[in-house]
């Protein structure tokens, strides 16, 4: 009876939370008609050639994460469920199937190979076909596949990578590396047989494979320096020291690989980044942490730039190229927050990625810039419990369990580190600070690390040829569609003016011309 009373009370309270305008049926009718008018305008397809391409990748940003991040963003601005993410404003939405060639529930390396290189691959492998077995260096040769970043570079465009993880992590490294193991960040992480077999570590490939990447921003300093070299920011912390066994300083090697007469700048903190005169910089490398960058909620505003700040710098750098650019932007720590069961960290990372999307929108034009937002995979993250309108996204459900008579948070995980038994029973969450940034939400199955989810992920698109992302696709379709829009890569037969289909706006005029002829 108590649980029923709580539920009825919640329903009564939720009724009082309904905005007055939403009680009027005309509000919803007007809203629907405006949406309809916007949809009808989409019949005038943008078939321009995309000068610029931006791929925003929310690592682990499944649909439930997108929805929860929307609510969080709204609540941070005094709104709620009705608010819009920047990605919600993109007119075309598709679903991508995320499985790896050997995995129903994928990992970030195999998926990155799909949405960057256009080829599905085995879990744990980067920039190679499914003919490569994880950890087997000797299966790599001849199986390398190239990425849309390389296609753009070969077409004369500027290219860049921005991430909140290590720049050698799974997502960014698939843009430039070919590896049988995503964890071979430096040669210090590689087994002897792989080194003897001639395989290169990922940090070395970053410097050598495509040496003229104009912008590289993220974390991962320690993989660039010799073993035991102290870190510039954490000189007394042993775990932050260099990891390389070959004795090379790859930051120095990065400098030396640049063409004579070009200006290459390396920065390691926010002040150095924001002080740059970008008009005088040709190549930029920014490594702001020894490993991954800090969570946005924990970020030191003096030393570490936000994702939005890095994206702003990257776009302004890349826009100097008259042929346009390709930029990969990864909100990589959404994934880490979920793995740790820390939903608050994960969702704030997603909100920051969305902020970066909005900034990029203001710095570019939909007439010549194709922007795509997607995820590599989902997580076993959910929120529910019949919460009333306006319920804090990190709050409690309005009822207790009708089995163990304890309250529960709306946010839960299918598995992960939040599984806790106290005195033989599920932990009573009302006794803990469940709104803390590092609170680990309860999970059904105990695991040290929460796992990925296997469902499809959303793909949002806006700009030239965005309508090509329109239904349910294999994940490896994404770079092919983007390359087609930009006339880069191997499929360029449509790129002369005669081959480009006419837009619906031009069709009546073409018909009139034919009649006159």
CATH code for position 482? 3.40.720.10
Residues 220 and 122 in one domain: yes
Q: Is 123 known to sit in a ligand binding site?
A: no
pLDDT tens, residue by residue, 431-465: 999 999 999 999 999 999 999 999 999 999 999 99
Secondary structure class of 478 (helix, strand, coil): helix
Please give the Cα distance from 429 to 27 (Å, whole number).
39
- pLDDT score of 7: 41
Cα angle 376-380-384, degrees, rounded to a multiple of 5: 120
Residues 348 and 402 in one domain: no
Residues 354 and 439 in one domain: no
Q: How confident is the model at residue 16 (pLDDT cuts 50, 70, 90)?
A: low
Residues 57 and 189 in one domain: yes
- Category of 93 on φ-ψ map: left (φ > 0), alpha (ψ -120 to 50) or beta: beta
In a domain, 34, yes or no: no
What is the average pLDDT across 362-366? Answer: 98
Q: Which residues have a catalytic role annotated?
A: 108
Q: Is 452 known to sit in a ligand binding site?
A: yes
Query: What helix, strand, coil percent values describe the chain, rounded to 5?
Result: 35, 20, 45
Residues 258 and 133 in one domain: yes
**Domain containing residue 421:** 396-446
Residues 333 and 442 in one domain: no
Residues 434 and 476 in one domain: no
- Report the predicted TM-score, pTM, of the whole model to 2 decimal places: 0.93
In a domain, 453, yes or no: no
Residues 477 and 423 in one domain: no
Q: Cβ distance 328 to 55 under 8 Å? A: yes
Q: Is 377 known to sit in a ligand binding site?
A: yes
Q: Is 282 known to sit in a ligand binding site?
A: no
Nearest to 401 by CA among 390, 389, 412: 412
Q: Is 171 known to sit in a ligand binding site?
A: yes
Q: In what order do the strands lie in the sheet with 215-219?
A: 264-267, 283-287, 215-219, 158-166, 325-331, 52-58, 369-375, 457-462, 92-97, 472-474
In the 8-state DSSP scheme, what is residue 501? Answer: P
In a domain, 410, yes or no: yes
β-strands 407-409, 452-453: how paired?
A: unpaired
Residues 294 and 423 in one domain: no
Cα angle 366-367-369, degrees, rounded to a multiple of 5: 55
In a domain, 454, yes or no: no
Residues 123 and 236 in one domain: yes
In a domain, 404, yes or no: yes
Q: In what order do the strands lie in the sheet with 443-446?
A: 381-383, 411-416, 443-446
Kindly state the helix (H) or strand (E) to which residue 150 belongs, with its residue range: helix 148-154
Rg of the chain in Å (alpha carbons) = 24
Q: Is 330 known to sit in a ligand binding site?
A: yes
- pLDDT score of 517: 37
Q: Is 135 known to sit in a ligand binding site?
A: no
What is the average pLDDT across 312-320? Answer: 98
pLDDT tens, residue by residue, 366-380: 999 999 999 999 999
Residues 352 and 206 in one domain: yes
Q: How confident is the model at residue 496 (pLDDT cuts 50, 70, 90)?
A: confident
In a domain, 341, yes or no: yes
Please give the Cα distance from 278 to 305 (Å, whole number).
16
Q: Is 335 known to sit in a ligand binding site?
A: yes
Provide the 10 A C-beta neighbour count for residue 261.
Answer: 6
Whether the pLDDT of residue 69 is over 70: the answer is yes
Q: Is 169 known to sit in a ligand binding site?
A: yes
How many domains are there within the chain? 2
Pair of tokens at residue 137: 């260096």
- pLDDT score of 497: 53
Nearest to 285 by CA among 303, 307, 301, 263: 263
Residues 358 and 414 in one domain: no
In a domain, 424, yes or no: yes
In a domain, 76, yes or no: yes
pLDDT tens, residue by residue, 99-124: 999 999 999 999 999 999 999 999 99
């Amino acid at each position: 009876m108590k649980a029923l009373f709580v539920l009825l009370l919640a329903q009564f309270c939720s009724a009082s939370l309904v905005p007055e305008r939403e009680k009027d049926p005309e509000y919803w009718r007007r809203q629907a008609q405006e949406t309809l008018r916007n949809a009808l305008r989409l019949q005038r397809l943008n078939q321009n050639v995309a000068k610029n391409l931006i791929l925003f990748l929310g690592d682990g940003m499944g649909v439930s994460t997108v929805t929860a991040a929307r609510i969080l963003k709204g609540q941070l601005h005094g709104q709620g469920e009705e608010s819009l993410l920047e990605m919600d404003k993109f007119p075309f939405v598709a679903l991508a199937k995320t499985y790896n060639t050997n995995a129903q529930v994928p990992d970030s390396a195999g998926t990155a190979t799909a949405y960057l290189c256009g080829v599905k691959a085995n879990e744990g492998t980067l920039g190679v076909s499914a003919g490569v077995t994880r950890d087997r260096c000797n299966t790599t040769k001849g199986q390398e596949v190239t990425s849309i970043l390389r296609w753009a570079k070969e077409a004369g465009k500027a290219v860049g990578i921005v991430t909140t993880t290590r720049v050698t992590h799974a997502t960014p490294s698939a843009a430039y590396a070919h590896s049988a193991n995503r964890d071979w960040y430096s040669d210090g992480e590689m087994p002897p047989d792989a080194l003897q077999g001639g395989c290169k570590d990922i940090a070395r490939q970053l410097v050598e494979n495509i040496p003229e990447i104009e912008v590289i921003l993220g974390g991962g300093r320690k993989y660039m320096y010799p073993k035991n070299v102290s870190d510039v920011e954490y000189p007394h912390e042993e775990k932050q020291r260099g990891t390389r066994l070959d004795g090379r300083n790859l930051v120095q090697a990065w400098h030396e690989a640049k063409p004579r007469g070009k200006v290459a700048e390396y920065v390691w903190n926010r002040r150095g980044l924001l002080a740059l005169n970008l008009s005088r910089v040709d190549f930029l490398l920014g490594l702001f942490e020894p490993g991954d960058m800090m969570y946005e909620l924990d970020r030191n505003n003096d030393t570490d730039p936000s994702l939005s700040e890095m994206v702003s710098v990257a776009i302004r750098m890349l826009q100097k190229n008259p042929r346009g650019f390709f930029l990969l932007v990864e909100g990589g720590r959404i994934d880490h927050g979920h793995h740790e069961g820390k939903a608050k960290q994960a969702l704030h990372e997603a909100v920051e990625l969305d902020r970066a999307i909005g900034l990029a929108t203001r710095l570019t034009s939909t007439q010549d810039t194709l922007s795509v937002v997607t995820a590599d995979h989902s997580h076993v993250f959910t929120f529910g419990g019949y919460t009333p309108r306006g319920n804090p996204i990190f709050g409690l459900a309005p009822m207790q369990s009708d089995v163990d008579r304890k309250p529960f948070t709306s946010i839960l995980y299918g598995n992960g580190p939040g599984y806790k038994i106290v005195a033989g029973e599920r932990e009573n969450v009302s006794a803990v600070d469940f709104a803390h940034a590092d609170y680990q939400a309860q999970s059904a199955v105990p695991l040290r690390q929460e796992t990925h989810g296997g469902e499809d992920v959303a793909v949002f698109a806006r700009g030239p040829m965005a309508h090509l992302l329109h239904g349910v696709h294999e994940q490896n379709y994404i770079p092919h569609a983007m390359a087609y829009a930009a006339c880069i890569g191997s499929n360029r037969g449509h790129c002369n003016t005669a081959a480009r289909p006419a837009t619906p706006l031009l069709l009546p005029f073409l018909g009139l011309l034919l009649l006159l002829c």
